[in-house]
Amino acid sequence: MDISVIIPTYNRFELLKRAIKSVYAQTFKPKEIIVVDDGSIDSTLKIQNLFPDIKYFYQKNSGVSSARNLGIKKAAYKWLAFLDSDDVWHKEKLAFHAIFHKKNPHILMSYTNERWIRDGVEVAMPQKYQKFHGDIFDASLSHCIIAPSATLMHKNLLQDVGFFDENLEVCEDYDMWLRVALKNNIGLIDKKLITKYGGADDQLSTKFWGMDRFRVKALEKLLDLELPKDKKDLVIKTLVHKYTLLLKGAIKYDRILDINAYKTKIERYTFE
C-alpha cells in the first residue's frame, strides 16, 4: 500500500512540527508527506528546512478545503491519508490501516477512533460522535462522526463523489463523508490512533456560530442527487430537525430574514 499524507495548515508552525514528527514516527512509512500552506504569515515557510523530505506547497489563503484539494492533486499515490496540523497520529496508525485494507480490499475508505485532549486534559468523547462501521450514512447525518485526521481513502472514491467543497467554510468534512457514505461502506478501526487537541482560538469549529447552518447546506446538496427513497426521507427528516433548531435561534436573536427563510423551508419539506 502506497500512501500520500496530506497536511493542510495555516499559521501553525509549532503545531505543524509536532504533526509531521508523528508521521515520521509511523511504523508503516508513507511514500510522501505533502504540506499545503494556506497563506500562512508566521514561520511555516521554514518547515521544509526542518523536514527537507516533505513536499511543501504554498497558496493564497483559500480555506482548508482548497488546501486539501491541492494536496490531493499533487499526491503521487493512490491512497490518501489526511492529517490536520493541530492533530497527531499514534505511531501504528498507518500500519493498522494497511492491515485493515489488506483484509478488506473491497473497502476504499477507513477511519479510526480518536483521543481528545482539551487544555492538557483528556476528555471523554460525547456519545453523539460514536463510531460505526459499514453503511454509516444514517449515523452520519446528525453530526460529523469522522475526523479528517482519522481517515485513509482511495483516490477512486474522489472520482465518483468529487473533491472537498471549497464553498463550505466549515463542515466540509461532514459534507465529504456523507457523499462517500451514500454509496460506499466505510471501515472502522476501533482504536484511538489519533489525538485531537481542542481549545485553540483558531479552530474552525469554534470560529463560526451555528454550525448547523453549514450542515444544512451539505444536506441540501444531497437532495440534488438521485437518492433512494429511504435515504431521501432520512435526509429530509434531519433537515427539518436542523431547520427547527436554527429557527429557534433566529427567533431568540430576532433575525427576521432567517426566521422567514427557515419557516418556509420547514413548511416545504414537511408538506412535500
Is the per-residue pLDDT at 137 higher than 80? Answer: yes
> CB within 8 A of 107, min separation 6: which ones?
100, 101, 184, 185, 186, 187
Burial class, 100, CB count within 10 angstroms (exposed 0-12 / middle 13-18 / buried 19+): middle
Which pLDDT belongs to residue 249?
92
Tell me the one-letter amino acid at 28. Answer: F
Half-sphere CA count of 9, side-chain side, radius 13 A: 32
Task: Find the DSSP H helices in 43-200.
Answer: 47-50, 64-74, 93-103, 137-140, 155-161, 172-181
Mean pLDDT of 150-155: 98
Q: Using pLDDT thresholds of 50, 70 and 90, give the confidence band for residue 200.
A: low
Which pLDDT belongs to residue 210?
73
Q: Poorest-confidence range of 35-39, 99-103, 185-189, 249-253?
A: 249-253
Q: Poorest-confidence range of 31-45, 68-82, 167-181, 191-205?
A: 191-205
So where are the chain's domains? 3-206, 226-270
Residues 84-122 pLDDT 10s: 999 999 999 999 999 999 999 999 999 999 999 998 999
Which pLDDT belongs to residue 269?
87
Task: Find the DSSP H helices in the chain.
Answer: 13-24, 47-50, 64-74, 93-103, 137-140, 155-161, 172-181, 204-207, 212-222, 229-252, 256-270
Q: Using pLDDT thresholds of 50, 70 and 90, give the confidence band for residue 163.
A: very high
CATH fit for domain 3-206, picks 3.40.120.10, 3.90.550.10, 3.40.50.2030, 3.40.50.10440: 3.90.550.10
Which pLDDT belongs to residue 203?
54
Q: 152, 139, 72: which is closest to 110 by C-alpha? A: 152
Q: Using pLDDT thresholds of 50, 70 and 90, give the confidence band for residue 49.
A: very high
Q: Using pLDDT thresholds of 50, 70 and 90, give the confidence band for residue 209.
A: low
Tell me the one-letter amino acid at 218. Answer: A
Which pLDDT belongs to residue 198?
85
Mean pLDDT of 128-154: 97
Which pLDDT belongs to residue 272?
61
- State CA 39 to chain mean position distance: 20
Mean pLDDT of 9-29: 98
CB count within 10 Å of CB 22 equals: 19
Is the per-residue pLDDT at 23 higher than 90? Answer: yes
Report d(CA 130, CA 109) in Å as an integer.
Answer: 18
Which pLDDT belongs to residue 15?
97
